[in-house]
Amino acid sequence: MYDYVKTVIPEERILFRRQMKDYTTFRVGGEADCIILVQREEELAKLVSYLNQIEEAYFILGNGSNLLVGDKGYRGVILKFDGPMEQITVDGTQITAKAGALLAQVAVAAREHSLTGLEFAAGIPGSIGGGVVMNAGAYEGEMKQVVEAVRVMDREGQITTLDNDTMEFGYRTSIIKNRAFIVLEVTLRLKEGDRGQIGAKMEELAALRRSRQPLEYPSAGSTFKRPDGYYAGKLIMDAGMRGYRIGGAQVADKHCGFIINTGKATAADIREVIEEVQERVKERFHVSLEPEVVFLGDF
């Protein structure tokens, strides 16, 4: 297989046997067979059609900030965007970002061009590709409000552009989740604003995050989706699970919606805490907590 891959990707961008803990914000996860750094759409088209044809498993990695990779790692190919696939271009009130660009960097570009609307995303540690997949949101904002169009590739390597209406954005979901598209590029439509006010809003939200979230520990942010009519963190706290711990994984004291890696957690520890929390909340309040975090690989 790699004989073909090497005809598409230069060897220095094919990384064998990498520890996924170095690529996820939870800082856990075993070895992936191979990580390929993709810099061009044409490379991606060739890779995905080939990998599909030979039925080799592959996974699109954003910034690994919503991902729990098992301790035994991932048998397959991880595709990660790199270099030119992280570019950001601003044209009037429109920002076009390649899928690998970090949301935080896109938010800074917006501020630098006095464009308002993306302040909510400045503290979300994902890529814009991952942000669109999850319809990432915070503090009354979500990607749905600012996305104009999304350029996607299907698993045969065909490219299409979807507009906001066809994206089927919902709470932490979009068409990308259901149809297994790969996000290549995102076009945002923002509004002209005041640079000082935009910067102040971003700082205010960053301060709120620091005061409410256990940012000093590795995590994947909120572990669970918000169940209809409830807050996951409050249910977990009311179930008496604040500080609940297995191995190095813990329900954060500061925010029970976060499960943190206190230093030496394994992916299995984190998964067990997730399952225990689900069980106790279900038992106590008859509410099912659905993980927001994506699970990958062998545990």
Closest to ligand FAD by CB, 259 vs 277, is 259
246 contacts ligand FAD (rule: CB under 6 A): no
Cα 247 from Cα 271, distance rounded (Å): 11
Encoding tokens for residue 257?
Answer: 């919606």
Cα separation of 108 and 45, whole Å? Answer: 30
The string of DSSP codes covering the chain is -HHHHHHHS-GGGEEEEEEGGGGSTT----EEEEEEEE--HHHHHHHHHHHHHTT--EEEESSSTTEEE-TTBEEEEEEEE-GGGG-EEEETTEEEEETTSBHHHHHHHHHHTTEES-GGGTT--SBHHHHHHHT-EETTEEGGGTEEEEEEE-TTS-EEEEEGGGG--BTTB-HHHHHT-EEEEEEEE-EE--HHHHHHHHHHHHHHHHHHS-TTS-EEEESBPPPTTS-HHHHHHHTT-TT-EETTEEE-SS-TTEEEE-SS--HHHHHHHHHHHHHHHHHHH--PPPB-SEEESB-
Determine if 101 is a binding residue for ligand FAD (CB under 6 A).
no
Cα separation of 235 and 240, whole Å? 9
Please tell me whether residue 25 binds ligand FAD under the rule CB under 6 A. yes
Of these, 51, 97, 147, 182, which contacts ligand FAD (CB under 6 A)? 182
Show the site string, 201-230: x = touches ligand FAD by CB under 6 A, - = not: --------------x---xxx---------
If the CB atoms of residues 7 and 178 are measured against ligand FAD, the closer one turns out to be: 178
Catalytic residue, from 65, 127, 219, 222: name it. 222
Q: How many residues of this chain bind ligand FAD (CB under 6 A)?
A: 31
Among 99, 188, 267, 277, contact with ligand FAD (rule: CB under 6 A): 99
| Out of 9, 150, 176, 267, the residue judged to bind ligand FAD by CB under 6 A | 176
Say how far apart CA 37 and CA 82 lie, in whole Å: 6
Does 266 bind ligand FAD (CB under 6 A)? Our answer is no
Q: Convert residues 54-73 into a mask of x (bound to ligand FAD by CB under 6 A) and - (unbound).
A: -----xxxxxxxxx------
283 labelled catalytic: no
Q: If binding is defined by CB under 6 A, does position 294 make contact with ligand FAD?
A: yes
What part of residues 135-174 is at the interface with ligand FAD (CB under 6 A)? 136-138
Min dist. Cβ of residue 284 to ligand FAD (A): 26
Least Å distance between CB 225 and ligand FAD? 10
CB of 64 to ligand FAD, least distance (A): 5
Instruction: Single out the catalytic residue among 18, 111, 151, 172.
Output: 172
Positions in 122-141 near ligand FAD (CB under 6 A): 124-127, 129-131, 133-134, 136-138
30 touches ligand FAD (CB under 6 A): no
* Interaction site with ligand FAD (CB under 6 A): 25, 59-67, 99, 124-127, 129-131, 133-134, 136-138, 176, 182-183, 215, 219-221, 294
Residues identified as active-site: 172, 222, 292
